[in-house]
Structure 1
Amino acid sequence: MKILVINCGSSSLKYQLLDMDARSVIANGVIERIGEETGTVSQQNHPDEWPDRKNSEDVRVKDHEAAMRLMAGKLTDGQWGVLRSLSEIDALGHRVVQGGERFSKPELITPEVIESIRETIPLAPLHNPANLTGIEVAEELFPGTPGVAVFDTEFHQTIPQKAFMYPLPKAFYTENKIRKYGFHGTSHKYVTKAACDHLGKAVGETNLITVHLGNGCSMAAVEKGRCVDTTMGFTPLAGLMMGTRCGDIDPAIHAFVAKHRKLSLAEIDSVLNKESGLTGICGKNDFRDIHAAREKGDKDAQLAFEMFTYRVRKTIGAYMAVLKTVDAIAFTAGIGENDQFVRAAACEGLERLGVRLDSDENTTRRPGTRSIHARDSEVAVLIVPTDEELEIAQATRALVENKH
């Protein structure tokens, strides 16, 4: 079964074509800077029957509809193509950022599902319109091919009310649906299953803290395979310090900044999302650059590193209190999988809580899921490479095959 996973971002389109029977990726690609004067499209082909190559070119992409058509063309054209016809694709898996309270599991796409996604646009105005465009254009490009919507918020729908409610007037929730939703759920779900496989434990018998650290960062407390808390909230701005997002701050700062720096709400929102976090403190959001600056004595880079890892460490402690017993802490995503310094600092001082790293294992790079804790550690510490596209593809396959 060939499944095409489609991820329409606010200004990008990522796609991956998988052969589920061969357990392989046929091709993956990305179209970036949609809506700008100059964008790019690139595609990496992997299969044996096609040349293993990467193509890339500059191209202006007007909108997400144009991006979808460009993707379809690249998958089948003479130079880039890995398909003779789009009809070779058996199913489509669509990432949808916000499912609200309506969606607690992946759903086969129907007119009713499309309308429900449309109703959640106010909760994710930058992403859900793009997600919806991808779904609607796909129905035209791939007529008769079943599609499945997989929601970033779905894994977090098991969070209890005491954890997802905000201490605001209750009408804010009942009338405006303001609550913690959480994001990166597809990653946290995949990592949960992969960590349990590595530990040799059943998902329903395992307590985990999953730590997704990339340009966007979030953590989840997973009790017996079910998410019971997560750091991101009503939007992905909440929680940990991130590459360009501030994470949790005093909400009164908004009014203070509006008054004293003469910024509008829209300008403040932009600053908190795009000019804060690591970038706001040291002007860099790539930890490779931050570590290089630290080595040269850059105090701002050192402060950014300490602030970032402090928040992760503090949240690990909080989630250990939430879960009471923890089988493992699982680091994932670009920083979590690759940055030994961040992992070490995030676990520093947690020995009393049963967390001890093996420094040699932590600094050794090897592919795949692996353990990096010391032999006497009461809590396992893992590196688990995430694969959101595979998780979406697996959910898509399961729904489509069950339908038949």
Structure 2
Amino acid sequence: MKTLVLNSGSSSIKYSLFDMGEQSVIVSGLIERIGEAESRHRFELHLADTEARCDEKNAIIGDHRQGLQNLFTLLSECGALKNAAELVCIGHRVVHGGEHFRQPVLIDADVIEQIRQMIPLAPLHNPANLLGIEQAIEQLPSVPQVAVFDTAFHQTLPPPAYHYAVPADWYRQYGVRRYGFHGTSHYYVAKRAAAHLGQDLRALNLITLHLGNGASMTAIANGQSIDTTMGMTPLEGLIMGTRCGDIDPALPFFLERSHAFSFSELENQFNKHSGLKGICGENDMRAIHRLAEQGNESARLALEMYAYRIKKYLGAYYAALGHVDALVFTGGIGENDTWLRQHCCDNLHALGIEVDRNKNQSGDAECFAINSDSAPVSILVVKTNEELEIALQSLACVQS
């Protein structure tokens, strides 16, 4: 059984073709710079009886239709996919499902229209996700297509957690509320953590930390999300690579009124030029560590601020949950940055959170523990796999 996962961006298509029997990747890749003078298609092949290999092709890919044609040509030429009949389904990542979508769903005309209506909630993401869906349906109309939503896992948030203290009509008329994102990743690593601990996820309280260029944390009670740091948009919460996270809501009004910033300019600054990049000029955590080691004070400040914001939310979510069985670090930073994991958890012994420095430095499995043996709270590092989770949910959807 083969399932194709597509993540369509405004000028890119990220994809993975899975053998669902083995839950293994056959081909994965990224088509980027779509619509530019020269596009790039990077991919990795993991075919049976052949060594894995990486390759790159440059071509002119004018739009997403051409991008998918390029993809399907590659899959055919390398023998990964002989014809569309080999595909059980295509799973699409969709960033925003609003309150309407709590589970993955087979895509039809009504679903497409619902995703279109939610574009105001995710103007940077949903249009591109929708474009990928429409082009995939056009090219492979006989293959079932499934939408898997980043927001779905957080639809279990209780009202006190998802409402904002703004006029109540804003929620009813405009959908203003906390939705949360990265739900596919938070759910995947929560399941992996439960398996590692040998317990039923429905019996566990977890705090999951998805730390990458985009970053969010989720409080999970008995297997369900009850709070998460991202809000109505992915801008709220933790400090991120280029996003500011939590700020004083009056800051945009001050800058507009006193310094003539337009709101569109402020939106661009808060999303693309703030966060770590705004503090020290870099948003790659590896580069920031190098600068800090060279004595760059702005880089040191960025690291301390990043860890401090996470620690504040750890305390808040511990209080919200009442007790915590495990912390789960994931994402490119969460999986690889030993300094950050240590500093996020420093001086939290009273909460039962204590990192073993040797375990933290030496672990390299897809799931491993870094807590001290005597600590009551497990601290796990789990390699996330959002594409596999989308494939699993898509397959379950078409088989139900």
TM-score category, normalised to shorter length: over 0.9
2:164–2:177 contact (8 Å) kept in structure 1 = yes
The match for 1:253 is 251
Deviates more, 1:251-260 or 1:158-167: 251-260
The match for 1:82 is 80
CA deviation map 1:140-159 (0-9, x unaligned): 22121111110000000000
Deviation at 1:257, TM superposition (A): 1.5
Over the aligned positions, Cα root-mean-square deviation in angstroms equals: 1.3
Residues 380/51 of structure 1: CA separation in 2 closer, same or farther (3 Å cut): closer
5+ residue gaps, structure 2: none
The match for 1:43 is 43
The match for 1:71 is 71
Distance 1:38 1:170 in 2: 49
Q: Which secondary structure does the structure 2 equivalent of 1:145 belong to? A: coil
Deviates more, 1:207-216 or 1:284-293: 284-293
2:96–2:149 contact (8 Å) kept in structure 1 = yes
Deviation at 1:117, TM superposition (A): 1.1
Distance 2:261 2:62 in 1: 30
Q: Which secondary structure does the structure 1 equivalent of 2:233 belong to? A: coil
Distance 1:339 1:144 in 2: 44
Q: Which amino acid letter does the alignment assign opposite residue 161 of structure 1?
A: P
Deviation at 1:81, TM superposition (A): 5.2
Deviation at 1:50, TM superposition (A): 4.8
Deviation at 1:36, TM superposition (A): 3.0
1:76–1:86 contact (8 Å) kept in structure 2 = no
CA deviation map 1:105-134 (0-9, x unaligned): 111112221121111111111111111111
Q: Which amino acid letter does the alignment assign opposite residue 39 of structure 2?
A: G
1:163–1:229 contact (8 Å) kept in structure 2 = yes
The match for 1:101 is 99
Q: Which secondary structure does the structure 1 equivalent of 2:283 belong to? A: coil
The match for 1:168 is 166
Distance 1:352 1:64 in 2: 53
Work out whether 1:369 is the aligned partner of 2:359.
no
Please give the TM-score of this superposition, normalised by the length of structure 2. 0.97
2:363–2:370 contact (8 Å) kept in structure 1 = no
The match for 1:303 is 301
2:92–2:145 contact (8 Å) kept in structure 1 = yes
Deviation at 1:71, TM superposition (A): 1.9
The match for 1:233 is 231
2:23–2:388 contact (8 Å) kept in structure 1 = no
Deviation at 1:241, TM superposition (A): 0.1
Distance 1:284 1:356 in 2: 30
Give the alignment partner of residue 115 of structure 1, picking from 113, 121, 127: 113
The percent identity for this pair of structures is 49
Q: Which amino acid letter does the alignment assign opposite residue 363 of structure 1?
A: Q
Deviation at 1:49, TM superposition (A): 4.0
Distance 1:23 1:170 in 2: 45
Q: Which amino acid letter does the alignment assign opposite residue 54 of structure 1?
A: C
5+ residue gaps, structure 1: none
Distance 2:108 2:320 in 1: 38
Give the alignment partner of residue 125 of structure 2, picking from 118, 124, 127: 127
Deviation at 1:2, TM superposition (A): 0.1
Residue-pair matches, total: 400
2:210–2:334 contact (8 Å) kept in structure 1 = yes
1:64–1:130 contact (8 Å) kept in structure 2 = no
1:87–1:142 contact (8 Å) kept in structure 2 = no
Give the alignment partner of residue 134 of structure 2, picking from 133, 136, 147: 136
Distance 1:10 1:367 in 2: 34
The match for 1:6 is 6
Give the alignment partner of residue 322 of structure 2, picking from 324, 334, 345: 324
Please give the TM-score of this superposition, normalised by the length of structure 1. 0.96
The match for 1:33 is 33
1:328–1:379 contact (8 Å) kept in structure 2 = yes
The match for 1:17 is 17
Deviation at 1:283, TM superposition (A): 0.8
Distance 2:154 2:230 in 1: 10
